[in-house]
Structure 1
Amino acid sequence: MASFKSEPFLWIHLSGIVAFPIFLVITWFGLSTSDRLPTLGLELLLMVVIGILPIFLMQWSRPFEIFSLLVLAMKPDKISYQQRQILSLFKMPKQRILSAATAVAMVGILYGLYQLPPLTMIELPILSQLLDQFHILGLFIACAAFVGANLFLQVPISVVGVLLSNEQEFVKITPYPTEKITQDFTLAGFQVDHIIAIDPVSPQK
């Protein structure tokens, strides 16, 4: 049996980390419409509640089920024995610690974004004037982008936690029960029997 660390889905979702800085830039772009001092506390709270909390709670209680790609997700009964062992790793206590630490780090990153100069201080007068007139829209953009930033950090960090697992211990791990996958994991996309060129391993009972 091949090493669980060669599982393509692990590396696909780990590579999602490249989207993290992109979403942070968009978040900063949206926050550039902020009044900063008068609304700093309220906006920070809003960003934490909308941008950080939902993704953190998902990873804490029902981790993202990684055997998916874009709008497709493998049906639970089509996930192989080894893949279900990997799912068991995502439910280990250390994964919750990683999720909590990542959420705390994101609060710090958010505060850091507020310390960056807004676009109104950069030589983009037309864009700055437009953003100043649409503060609520800018805040909406910032919140939406920050959700994306959290998702594309939390999921890769959880994958790192799995990849750091010991190979010898992995073979002893009980595969996650097929009937509990939908209940205990967050499945995104349309469920299909097979995702072409991504899952060459046939399911095992």
Structure 2
Amino acid sequence: MSFRSEPLLWIHLSGLAVVPICLDVCLLGLAVGDPVLPIWSELALVANMGVVPVVWMQLQRPFYIFALLAITLKHEKLTTQQRQILSLINTRINKVLTVLAGVLLVTILWQLYQTAPVVTLTLFPREWRILGLLLAGCSFTFANLFFQIPVSVMRVLVTSDAEFATIKPYPQDKIAPDFTILGLQVNQLLPKLVDTHTEN
């Protein structure tokens, strides 16, 4: 079975649909009250909250994609093909894509900041500006998370079958220290519809 049939690749790719929603919430946060800090200070606050943690994670210990919500597949249960996918995720190319994606999202944040005065929310007191910035920062963090993970997944999906066949499986003993693994670890994450993902 092709590595592209791995359902979690497509589940994480679908996370892109959440990005516009997170950016809308970020815009609403930026629209609360009038600026209380210099423009670059407010931008730096939101950008640092949203970009730095996610980019740092992806550069140092990429997100372990064999997870769904708060449940994670034990790395000892990964097939050879799944460990090959991890090898593709933890590469220099993906780290470059991570940085580029972060720069792109900061550019989008600047556009949102410029648009915010047009949609200023007069329902909230001006004193709530700090709370609005915190809301913007939190939603921007999720926007980055739901953008960065699909970017790393797309790198896997565009790999040719011939190239994938040459990829060495990620060493099992290095998965835990090299990837960010969150959630309750289980032996099986999704039902096996077709029993073709067997260990070589």
Question: Please, what TM-score do these two structures have when normalized by structure 2?
Answer: 0.92
Is 1:110 paired with 2:109?
yes
CA contact (8 A) 2:49 2:137 kept: yes
Counterpart of 1:149?
143
Instruction: Provide, for residues 44-101 of structure 1, a one-character-per-residue CA deviation record: whole Å limited to 9, x for no partner.
Output: 1111211101101111111111101111001110111100000000012111111111
Structure 1 regions of 5+ residues with no counterpart? 122-126
Runs of 4+ in 1 over 4 A off after TM superposition: 198-203
Question: Which one-letter code corresponds to 2:199 in the other structure?
Answer: Q
CA contact (8 A) 1:50 1:143 kept: yes
Residue 118 of structure 1: how far off its partner (Å): 3.2
Residue 197 of structure 1: how far off its partner (Å): 2.2
Instruction: Provide, for residues 159-188 of structure 1, a one-character-per-residue CA deviation record: whole Å limited to 9, x for no partner.
Output: 111111121011111100111111101112
Is 1:72 paired with 2:71?
yes
Question: Which one-letter code corresponds to 2:61 in the other structure?
Answer: R
* 3-state SS, counterpart of residue 191 of structure 1: strand
Is 1:8 paired with 2:7?
yes
CA contact (8 A) 2:64 2:181 kept: yes
Question: Which one-letter code corresponds to 1:154 in the other structure?
Answer: Q
Is 1:186 paired with 2:185?
no
Distance 1:62 1:162 in 2: 17
- Between 51-60 and 193-202, the greater mean CA deviation after superposition: 193-202
Structure 2 regions of 5+ residues with no counterpart? none
Is 1:137 paired with 2:131?
yes
Counterpart of 1:175?
169
Distance 2:65 2:24 in 1: 25
* 3-state SS, counterpart of residue 72 of structure 2: strand
Question: Please, what TM-score do these two structures have when normalized by structure 1?
Answer: 0.90
RMSD across aligned positions (CA):
1.9
- Between 36-45 and 143-152, the greater mean CA deviation after superposition: 36-45
Question: Which one-letter code corresponds to 2:51 in the other structure?
Answer: I
Counterpart of 2:41?
42
CA contact (8 A) 2:30 2:116 kept: no
Q: 1:198 to 1:106 in 2, by over 3 A?
A: farther
CA contact (8 A) 2:59 2:98 kept: yes
Identity over the aligned pairs, expressed in percent?
A: 41
